Each structure stands twice: as C-alpha cells, then as structure tokens.
Structure 1
Amino acid sequence: MTGTVNNIPTAPHIRREVQRRRTFAIISHPDAGKTTLTEKLLLFGGAINLAGAVKAKKTTKHTTSDWMEIERQRGISVTSSVMNFEFNGFSMNLLDTPGHHDFSEDTYRVLTAVDSALMVIDSAKGVETQTKKLMDVCRMRNTPIITFINKLDREGRAPLELIDEIEQHLGIECSPLSWPIGMGKSFQGVYDIQEGLIRFFRSDGNKNVRPQDTVTVFGLDDPALDKHLGEAAADLRNEIELLDGAGFPFDHKRYLAGQQTPVFFGSAINNFGVRELLEGFTSLAPAPKARAATTREVSPLEENFSGIVFKVQANMDPAHRDRIAFVRICSGQFNRGMKLQNQRLGKHFKAANAIFFMAKNRSGVEEAWPGDIIGLPNHGSIRVGDTLYSDEPLVFPGIPHFAPEFFRRIILRDPFKAKQLEKGLTQLTEEGAIQYFRPVTGRDYILGAIGVLQFEIIAARLADEYNVHVTYGQLPYQRVRWLTGDIKALKRIAEQNQQAIVKDADDCMAMLFNSDWQLTKTTEDWSDIKFIDTRECVLS
C-alpha cells in the first residue's frame, strides 16, 4: 500500500530497503588503525576472505581500500573509497576517508554523503589533532558518531583518562558499552556492559587457557568474575563504579543528535571487538535520513529518484581513462537504464552503466536505494555538487570548494606535452582535492591545495596516469579569494592588480594575496566586492 510523507507518495518496498541500510564513514587521525579496522569490517561482513584480499580476487594483495599506486607506495590513504557489504541482513555502505590533514577536503565531502560516522582512537595516543578537526566537521552536520578505541593489546593510557579526554577535547559525551580488562600484556578482554558478558581476548600465539570465549556474569558482584579474572576483577569493579558515578548512561536520542558517542574497546588487528562493534553499529546507527533541498526537505521514502554527486574520481580504471561520479541516492529507487536529469546542465541522460564499488573493483547495478552510493561513468559532464533527479526538479545545496592555503607553479619538463598536462589537470582537479588557476596575464598553471602533500600526489598521478612529468616552483602567495560583486568594481580591481588576478578551472575570477594583512587591506579598500573563501562548483 502506497503512503505519503508531506503529501509526497511513498512505497512500502522503498521503506523496507531504507530501513536496512547503514551509510557511514570511518574517520581517524593517521595511524590510529582506521584502515586495519576497515579491512576487518569487510572480513566480518564477508566481503573479503582474508584481510586485504577482495573475495574471489586472488591477485589482490594490497589493502582493499587503498587502491592507488601511490597509496601502496606510501602506506597511506590519499583518497576516499566506497565499499558495500552485507551484515546480519543490513546493507552497509562504508566510506573510508583519508586521515591525513592534507586530504581534509575530500573527507569533508564524504561526510556530507553519510548518515553517521565511526571514529577510531589509538589507545596510546588518545585524541590527536586531526581527530579534533574531523570532529568539527561532523559537528557541523550533527553527525552521529560511534567510537572504537583501538590497540588494547598494546600498552596505552588508562581507559578513564581516554574517556575524559574525548569528552573534554571533542566536546561530546561518552557512554561506554564495553570496558577493557587490563591492557597490553595484561589485556584479558572486555566486559560487555549491556549484555553482562566477559569476552576473552586471544591473540595469535596466546597460550593462556580460557574456559570459553565468553562468560556470562550476573552483575559485578558475581563470584564468577573473580574466578575468571583473578586480581583484575577488583580493578574492573572500581573502574565501572567510577564510570557509573561520573559517566553518562546511554541515550539513543542524544547519540542520534550528535551529542553522545557510544564507545567500544578492542584490537582491530587481532579481530577482537570488531564483530561486537558491527552488531552494535547496525542496531544503533540511523538509516538514511531526509535531506534538505533548496525548496523543501526530501524524504528517502519518496518514490521519485534524487541524488547528489559528492565526489568525482578520474582513472579508477587507467586502461579506460574514465571518470566516475559518486552519487549518494537521497530518495526513490534507481534502476539500470533509467533516465535522469542533471539539474545544473538541464539535460537528460540514460544511466545505463551504473556501478557499485568495492574500492577499485566494480559490479554492475540493477537497482539501488536511498543511502546507497553508486558510480556513474562519464566523460566530464557530471561535476561535484550536481543534483540528479528523475521527475520533480530539485536542487540540493552544493558541496563547497575551500580556498587553498598552499600554492605552487607547475614546471612542465617536456613542453610538447602541454595538451596532456591541461587534460590531466582538468580531470584531476575535477575530483576537488586540488585546484588550478591561470593568471590572466600569463600562461602558467598555478596549483592550490589545502595541504602540501597534495602536490606530490598530483605529480605522481600525472606521471603514472598521463605520462606527464612536472616539477614545481615556489610562489609567495598565502591566500586566494574568489571575487564577486559590482561588475565595474571587478573590472577596476582586475586592471589595477593584473599580476594577482587569476581564473580557476570554472573560469571564476579570483585574487592571490601574499599575506593576511594584504587580504585585509584589499577587502577594506574594495567594499563593493565580496572576497569569498568557499564556493560551490560555479559562482553565479
């Protein structure tokens, strides 16, 4: 029986599919164990048969989510990956994000496409710089967060200290749902607070004899606790008592509002605590939520299809030099071959070759539902921030570009490859992680990025994917701002500052500054002009 949401038609089969979907990102500071945890989630979800090996892909030796050559060389994630797997009847859409600050813009865009996040904390290092920045991004959208404190098999900081640090530095309540028993060499396992279970830890080569993997205890006063834990039982009782007195009881509404984070403890590399984390995640994390368009709120239960492009990736298959638009489905059912309209272009196209992802590996899509991430191969017609729809015209607010903070001049080693350079830069900058500018008075390319590591990534990808070799020249610029406002004023500022005026890849006018003082002074002198530090794909 068809129903309605805000007088918009809905269908029961869409509701069923929406309720079993969980679309989430994994975030952390580098080296907290995020990529390892991603592998183990895929392992428990049956998507891979050995950590790092895609199921039925015996030649895949590298980490599943790190599919670029440079990722394998450096051992870090430099782009977000999408992975889909099933677990206990739930369809999981997992987006693995780069942890490094230099890739924060890519991470920001991914976080606009998910309904919740899984935050990984290193038990020895606690809250780190990038963790704070990622938390700030999550807070902008009130994203619900579940926390996994990792590496309990190593010596780390006291659990109560870690909980206090998360609350103080990240500004969110912590509600532990499990609690560690010991740490490092004395790590015995965790106490499942909700289930009243002791889950024993067994690492590879651990010869300690345990009666069974889990033991049920009836409260902390149960003598079985002393029998199985020995002296560690007293420490567990004291810590839980302190937690009960000063902690926060779990409140699902506060979690969904982004005000409280359930906390799990474990060791991803040893598969310990991962299944319990997944089970807790599927029961607690939200299904796909409504999304605000410029005219109204769009429910995922609506029959008409809508989606937003949050990422574009070039050359996922170097043999085909393709570009894949990553689309978060916001409402309705997607079917292979259906006709969609790109709101920005005002043109229809047939989505005949949509794909699902397992990092670099793909499979064809016959149907997909709200919360799913699908890829649409294209030749540059679909851009980051585009709204796609089947019937009712909709516009989802665009995904912004942030003003770069570092700048380099590109030096092309082989002048005869200028066209290949332009093609490579055009395609790579469409991904949004880096931006290029052309001075109005010269022929140079100026690259701008949030972090300096991006320049190394672009040079490596130009060489590997386009056979174009470049080096960089230093530039004195520290800031760039896009310009909009009175047409006559824009013309005058361009005439008076020719060396600093540039156009970006979308032909939008911008201005480079050597210092914050120069930016402030120029802003004061030109009151008829707006100096913008973020923009959507095309300024009107």
Structure 2
Amino acid sequence: MHLLNLGILAHVDAGKTSLTERLLHTVGVIDEIGSVDAGSTQTDTLALERQRGITIKSAVVSFPVDDVTVNLIDTPGHPDFIAEVERVLGVLDGAVLVVSAVEGVQAQTRVLMRTLRRLRIPTLVFVNKIDRRGARDTDVLRALSERLSAAVVPMGRPTGLGTRAAGFTPGLDPAAVDVLADHDDALLAAYVEDTVGRDRLRAALVTQTRQAEVHPVYFGSAMTGAGVGELISGIRELLPASDGDPDGPVSGTVFKVERGPAGEKVAYARLFSGTLRTRDRIPFGEDGREGRITGIGVFDRGTDTRADAVPAGRIARLWGLADIRIGDPIGVPRKAYGHVFAPPTLETVVVPGEGTDTRALHLALTQLAEQDPLIDLRHDEVRRETSVSLYGEVQKEVLQATLADAYGLDVAFRGTTPLCVERPAGTGEAVEFNKKDGNPFLATVGLRVDPAPVGAGVAFRLEVELGSMPYAFFKAVEDTVRETLGQGLHGWRVTDCTVTMTHSGYSPRQSHAHQGFDKSMSSTGADFRGLTPLVLTEALRRAGTQVHEPMHRFRLDVPVDTLGALLPVLAALRAVPRTTETRGAVCVLEGAVPAAQVHGLEQQLPGLTRGEGEWESVFDHYAPVVRDPVPQRARTDHNPLNRKEYLLNVTRRVGG
C-alpha cells in the first residue's frame, strides 16, 4: 500500500478544517461530519480550538483512498500560528491549498503558495464555499493566476454558484494544454501540430503536478460535499506517494511535541528512511542526545493505534525521548528547510496575576516553549520578568487562555512591542591575550566583526590554524559568539554578520615533579566562554551597530471617498503608501508599515472606511530606525558592555 503525507493549508476561515471533516466522511472514516462552530471536529481537539473555532495546533488524521493511505495534517490558518505550518512543511509529500470562492485570494493564501512553490511541494488548489452567496469562479481563477501562480489548471467548472445546489462538473479545461506546454517542449511541439491526445495531456498533468510545476484547481463545498469526490481522485492520482527505504539507515524529523496525560513528552515524527521499533535506542538532535523508544503510535482510519514498529514514509507518535525537541533529526540527519517564514516580530512581558505561583508559571511557559520554540522565552533575572516572542495579538490571547485553562495560572501581558534587530555598521576588531592587561581568563581570543548581506544570518570563520589549540576550545568560542550575538549594543539580536577568529591561545597542562598536573594553571572551556563575550562586544562597539525595526508590506482596498480621512492616519502611524490604483469606486493602496502599528491600524480601519476597508499585511523586511531615541532592549545577560560588572558576575578573579 502506498503512503501520502498531505497537508491542508489555507487563510483563516477558508474552510480548511471543514474540508478535512468532509474528506473523512466521504471515505467512510467518520459517520457524522463534525462542525467547527459546534467544536466537534476530528482535528481541532484542544478545548481552546473548539471554543474559538480556529485551528491552533497541527493535527494528524489518516484515511484510505483505494490503495493509498493518506496521513492528512490539518494546519492553522491564522497568521499568528504560522510557526505550526512551517514545522509541517518539511514532512509533506503534497498539499491542498484551500481558497474561499467568496473572499478569494487573501494575504495568507499568497504567503503559503509562495512558500509551497519555493519548496517545490506538489499542490492542488480547492476553491471552497461555492454554495455561499457571493461565490465567484472566473474572478477567483483570474486572481489565482495573477496573484498565486500562472500555472493553474482548472479541473472542471462549478455550476449553480451561490446556491445550495452548487455543484462541480469535472473535465480538463481545453486551455490546460497552454499551461502544460510551457513546461514540456515535446508537448508544445505536438500541440502546434495538433496531435495532443487526451491520454498524453493527462500524463503530462500528472508528471508536472508531481514536480510542482502546475497546480490543478478544483471547485466545491466542504459543507455540501460538492467537488470533494473529484478532489479525492486528484489527491490519489496527481500527488506523489512517499518514498524511502524501510531497510535503510533510520532518518526522520520531529515536527511536533506535546505532553501526554502523565506529563510525558510525545514526539510526532516523519520517517524518511529505515524502520523504528520499540526498545530501539536512537540518536537524535545534532548535539549527541540519545534515547530509547518505549512506545510507538501510528495513524490509521481516523484514529491512532499502538504499533511495534514504524517504517519509512509513515508519521508516528514516539514515547520515551525525554529530551526531544521540535525540529530534531532522528538518526541520520537530512537536509532541512530551515526557517521558511519570517520569525516573530513582536514581544510582550508576562505579568503574573495576584497569587500566581511564579515557579509554576515558569514551568508552564517552559513546557509551552517546547511545543513552540519560536515564542523564545527570555528571563530577566534582575527585573524578575519573562518575555515571549509573538506573531500577533491573537497568539497572545491564546497563550493567556492556555495558561488559565491548562495550568490554572492567571496572567496578563504588557503592551506588545516590536522585536528589532541590529546589524553591524562597519568592521570592528578586538583581542585579549592570555595573562595580559588584566585578562583574568586563561585564554587568548581575537575576533573581527564584518557586515554581511541582508538575510545572510551569522557566520563564524577562522583565520587561525584549527590545530593551534584543542577543538573543544574553538567550539566554545563559536557557541559563545552565537549566544552573545543574541544581545547587541542596544540589546537586540545581531544578525547579518561574519565573525572571524583572528587570535587564539591557551595554557596547556603542565607537569610538576612530585605533584602531577596543575589544573589551576591550564585552560578550560569556561575560560573561552568567559572571555569571548568581552572580546566580541568590544569588536561590536568598534564596528557600531544600526537598529532595524520590522516592517510589513500591506495592501488596502478602500472606498475612494474615504481616502481623505484615511491618509493622515496612515501618515501618523508611519505607513508609507508606495502605489495607489483606482478601480472604479475602490482605491487600492500598497506600501509598508512598521509591524508595531499594524494592530492599531486594523482596529481603526472599520471606522475610517465605513466597514468597507479590506486590509492584509505580511512581514516584509527590517528597515533602519532613523528616529530618536533608538529603541533599546533591557539586557538579560551579565552585560559584557560593562567590564567590571561582567567580571564580578562571571568570575571571582576580578581584573582590569
């Protein structure tokens, strides 16, 4: 039996979870279709998901289609939970992107399709809600072609749009040959000679869909079932099955971690190669961790069942790996996608309610960070504060509700602030030598900081011989460099730079007669970890850094006669329209706005546009902050900017 790991993705409220229910019902896995509004769906199992009617965590459910077993992963649609989607992408064989026939292509739809195309994940498009008033077909197809991909292939046409009797008549559009011929020279030649047969056209469609070159489009309704049978046939025929050798070396990826009833960790993993068995001891992560599998669960016909083994191609739940983390490779690491969406651009401080146990709060937040590492807990020991990173206000509300419902903890939050970054403004160097000029550490470290292109991240290089001292000392320097760059001169994460080690030196163990080795006079990794922040911070100080704030790209559709009231508000919020286009009575503005202003603008928009304004935005880039004062972030480390304070905190051997 073939396997297919399928993701369902969409902008929020496009009907993604309802489509999952309809698919399960159509193939006979469930007898009754659950309702998002009633909180009775198969995949929205969290109490909070049922209460709010939105997907917050990815969920897996399995169903058979003839000789294919489909592991379907339902993902969140709200942009605040895009990190959940990101983790799922690396385990998919194919995807269904759901678009509303009423709202059409929305902001998140474009973000998702751009990512699916970049990662070359074979994708079908399902235009949902054809039974709703206001449903459109021609306009939606045009928007798909113009705003998502020119390589869309309609697989039929809808009938009875906007009525309960709406249906879908399958049939490959004759114009499909134009799209397919763009990717197949032989097909193009046959098309010119008018010798393209139906079988050849269908074969080209299968090949190009599996290669993520074209995207078949189906119309239907998750509520009535129209078009869903045809979509299921497309999933079976057009999307590629999982591959992988069950007899090969074990290789997999963890995309989700949750806690079981007894508080134990349960890891969701896709296995790409090999076979995992209970009681197997396996390596995981990239830092030498190991664990023994004590239990395996696999997904089958709408439920998950215990199994003794899981072969390549399948998704499984794994017990026994106490130190497992999201993103960890299992067994032999394979090339990972890395981050495919922008990181969170906002943060807020968690404020314990009256009587809230701060230790219990810390534990709860730590467990939630296991499930979503991008919330990036940050503890300020001086102020006794904990901050979290966020994508938006809805995520903050969900975090608050989760702490209350799952842990019984009452918390509030301070105002949300933007997460800036720092980039080096120039080149800076610094060096401290072993046993010289007040250096209390038995180490020599020299570092140079150079700017790197935008998006390059952080690179570490050596200009000294790797054999000039033990490798563990070089590793200590590199790890500490990356950690120290988490807080630059203004307290923000430093990115887009190259740090080069220019000097190195250490004190080897020396033997004394009748005394053996004198450990107090030999270098340790702690010496290099202690000295590196001082050297790196001084190099940064000499290079200088520029603070950059997160900016969103926005699109705003508003009535023309509301521009007079709207434009001054946009200017006050530092939003900069870059293009303006009038389409009849509607004006379309596109531009950039600071991430910190997005929520406030969304709240004001209905009043400024009589409720007719349509807003969409997505993170686009970081822009230099040119206003005074430059945003500062409180430090949570030992503050290497203040040498005396740092040495007092790090070592009793005060010097300099």
Structure 1 and Structure 2 fold alike (TM over 0.5) = yes
2:214 corresponds to 1:265:
no
Which one of 324, 337, 342 corresponds to residue 382 of structure 1? 324
Which one of 349, 362, 365 corresponds to residue 425 of structure 1? 365
Structure 1 residue 358 displacement after superposition? 7.8
Separation in 1 of the partners of 2:336 and 2:288? 16
Give the structure 2 partner of residue 38 of structure 1. Answer: 20
Which one of 69, 81, 86 corresponds to residue 103 of structure 1? 81
2:336 corresponds to 1:397:
yes
Separation in 2 of the partners of 1:254 and 1:445? 49
Deviations, residues 358-407 of structure 1 (Å, cap 9, x unaligned): 89964212332323211123574001121112xxx445437449532111
2:473 corresponds to 1:366:
no
Residue 48 of structure 1 aligns to a residue whose secondary structure is: coil
Give the structure 2 partner of residue 531 of structure 1. Answer: none
Aligned positions of 1:173-184 closer than 5 A: 173-184=151-162
Separation in 1 of the partners of 2:301 and 2:67? 22
Residue 385 of structure 1 aligns to a residue whose secondary structure is: coil
TM-score, normalization by structure 1: 0.71
Amino acid at match of 2:306: G
Q: Which moved more, 1:478-487 or 1:275-284?
A: 478-487
Give the structure 1 partner of residue 292 of structure 2. Answer: 350
Give the structure 1 partner of residue 241 of structure 2. Answer: 287
Cα distance change on mapping 1:67 and 1:285 into 2, 3 Å? same
Separation in 2 of the partners of 1:353 and 1:492? 39
Structure 1 residue 99 displacement after superposition? 0.5
Give the structure 1 partner of residue 257 of structure 2. Answer: 312
- Is residue 289–residue 323 contact of structure 2 (8 Å, CA) maintained in 1? no
Structure 1 residue 484 displacement after superposition? 7.3
TM-score, normalization by structure 2: 0.59
Percentage of matched positions with identical amino acids: 26
2:601 corresponds to 1:517:
no
Give the structure 2 partner of residue 460 of structure 1. Answer: 401
Residue 341 of structure 1 aligns to a residue whose secondary structure is: strand
Structure 2: which 5+ runs fail to align?
A: 181-200, 423-456, 462-476, 495-532, 538-544, 550-622, 631-656
Amino acid at match of 1:340: I
- Is residue 253–residue 330 contact of structure 2 (8 Å, CA) maintained in 1? yes
Deviations, residues 139-176 of structure 1 (Å, cap 9, x unaligned): 22111111111122223454233222101100241112
Cα distance change on mapping 1:68 and 1:110 into 2, 3 Å? same
Residue 50 of structure 1 aligns to a residue whose secondary structure is: coil
Give the structure 2 partner of residue 145 of structure 1. Answer: 123
Which one of 331, 334, 340 corresponds to residue 276 of structure 2? 334
2:6 corresponds to 1:24:
yes
- Is residue 404–residue 479 contact of structure 1 (8 Å, CA) maintained in 2? no
Q: Which moved more, 1:512-521 or 1:400-409?
A: 512-521
Give the structure 2 partner of residue 451 of structure 1. Answer: 392
Give the structure 2 partner of residue 325 of structure 1. Answer: 267
Give the structure 2 partner of residue 409 of structure 1. Answer: 349
Separation in 2 of the partners of 1:397 and 1:491? 22
Deviations, residues 325-365 of structure 1 (Å, cap 9, x unaligned): 11111112233333322243424422121223589964212
Aligned positions of 1:162-173 closer than 5 A: 162-173=140-151
Deviations, residues 179-203 of structure 1 (Å, cap 9, x unaligned): 2223123856332215xxxxxxxxx
- Is residue 181–residue 191 contact of structure 1 (8 Å, CA) maintained in 2? yes
- Is residue 26–residue 95 contact of structure 1 (8 Å, CA) maintained in 2? yes
Cα distance change on mapping 1:178 and 1:406 into 2, 3 Å? same
Higher RCO by CA contacts (8 Å cutoff, separation 6 or greater) = 1
Structure 1 residue 68 displacement after superposition? 0.8
- Is residue 154–residue 185 contact of structure 1 (8 Å, CA) maintained in 2? yes
Cα distance change on mapping 1:153 and 1:37 into 2, 3 Å? same
Give the structure 2 partner of residue 62 of structure 1. Answer: 40
Separation in 2 of the partners of 1:368 and 1:493? 41
Structure 1 residue 493 displacement after superposition? 8.2
Amino acid at match of 2:221: S
Separation in 1 of the partners of 2:316 and 2:274? 14
Structure 1 residue 466 displacement after superposition? 1.7
Residue 18 of structure 2 aligns to a residue whose secondary structure is: helix
Number of equivalent positions? 432
Aligned-CA RMSD value: 3.6
Residue 254 of structure 2 aligns to a residue whose secondary structure is: strand
- The structure having more radius of gyration, on CA atoms, is 2
Deviations, residues 408-442 of structure 1 (Å, cap 9, x unaligned): 11111146611111111111011225221124754
- Is residue 501–residue 512 contact of structure 1 (8 Å, CA) maintained in 2? no
Structure 1 residue 310 displacement after superposition? 1.7
Cα distance change on mapping 1:497 and 1:358 into 2, 3 Å? farther
Separation in 1 of the partners of 2:85 and 2:118? 13
Give the structure 2 partner of residue 471 of structure 1. Answer: 412
Amino acid at match of 2:329: T
Amino acid at match of 1:410: V
- Is residue 293–residue 320 contact of structure 2 (8 Å, CA) maintained in 1? no
Aligned positions of 1:499-518 closer than 5 A: 515=549, 516-518=623-625
Cα distance change on mapping 1:431 and 1:513 into 2, 3 Å? farther
Aligned positions of 1:216-255 closer than 5 A: 243=175, 251-255=205-209
